[in-house]
Amino acid sequence: MMHFIRLKARMLLAAVSCFTACCNNLYADSMAPQLTGFMRSSDAWGDNGQTTAYYGFYSISADGDVDFKAVSPTGPDNAWANCGSVYADGRYYCYNVDGTSMNYTLSYYVFDADSWTSVRQNAFSYKYSDAGSEQSQKARLVPSALAYNPLTGVIYAVTHTFSNSEKGFLCEADPDSGELHSLGEIPFMKTASCDASGVMYGIGLDGNLYRISGAGDVAIIGHTGYYPTRDSEISTGSAIYFRNGKMY
């Protein structure tokens, strides 16, 4: 049975990802799982007249303690993952989008999760005036969230077209290039994550929890009691802790 846990926090985390099994082994069963995610905004950045944005990855305890701790370098130039990230085998895979619906750049980053050194990066540019070009087509779909299947090693992305929340698409991400290959149309999903057995779950704009197959078939499990924002470019996140099967 899937257990859904809601966390309330003052800071906005995009693409929250659980530490995977090797990191979870650092914590005793009695300790709350640690979640980590990319922070794209914070009320605290405006406190005391500060205007600097401390973008980066932060951790938070799943017991509801909202004491965010930076786990990566932070700063105004570290805008790596405002539209999706996932942890897989010691690396973070991230997407970031910047621009407008007429012209934007979808950037792809891979980081070593221990040293936070860049492993690879790529970028795809979309131009409305040249929408049919190969480059624009590679940037046509923008991730809302990423999910990693621990059994197959596949990274999935639930995506949408820029500033459009009418429909969504399930994609498979190429871990080397960052290119997204569409697997089919699905309801617009704001979050996605896989459990220990590789089953993928997502939360739609309607607040329902869905089971999503790798072929793009979806089934409603039930309502979460939570309604994500309809703004397609404001990210939310979810994670499933493998040890207890709970989704945060």
Query: How confident is the prediction along the chain (248 residues), in pLDDT tens digits per residue?
Result: 444 444 433 333 333 443 322 233 234 455 788 888 888 888 777 665 666 788 899 988 888 777 889 999 999 888 888 888 999 999 999 999 999 989 999 999 999 999 999 999 999 999 999 999 999 999 999 999 999 999 999 999 999 988 777 789 999 999 999 999 999 999 999 999 999 999 999 999 899 999 999 999 999 999 999 888 777 667 778 889 888 888 88
Q: Which two tokens stand for residue 69?
A: 């701790």
Q: What is the residue range of 65's domain?
A: 3-247
Q: Which residue has the tokens 């090797």?
A: 22
Q: What is the CATH number of the domain that holds 18?
A: 2.120.10
> How confident is the model over 83-138, as pLDDT tens digits?
889 999 999 999 999 999 899 999 999 999 999 999 999 999 999 999 999 999 99
Neighbouring-strand partners of residue 247: 4, 240
Nearest CA-CA partner of 62 in 114, 1, 19? 19
Rounded to whole angstroms, how far apart are CA atoms 139 and 162?
A: 9
* CB distance 159 to 147 below 8 Å: no
* Domain count across the chain: 1
Neighbouring-strand partners of residue 126: 104
Rounded to whole angstroms, how far apart are CA atoms 212 and 218?
A: 5
Instruction: Tell me the whole-structure pTM to 2 decimals.
Output: 0.85
Cα torsion through 24, 116, 59, 17, rounded to 10: -60
Nearest CA-CA partner of 159 in 136, 132, 140? 140
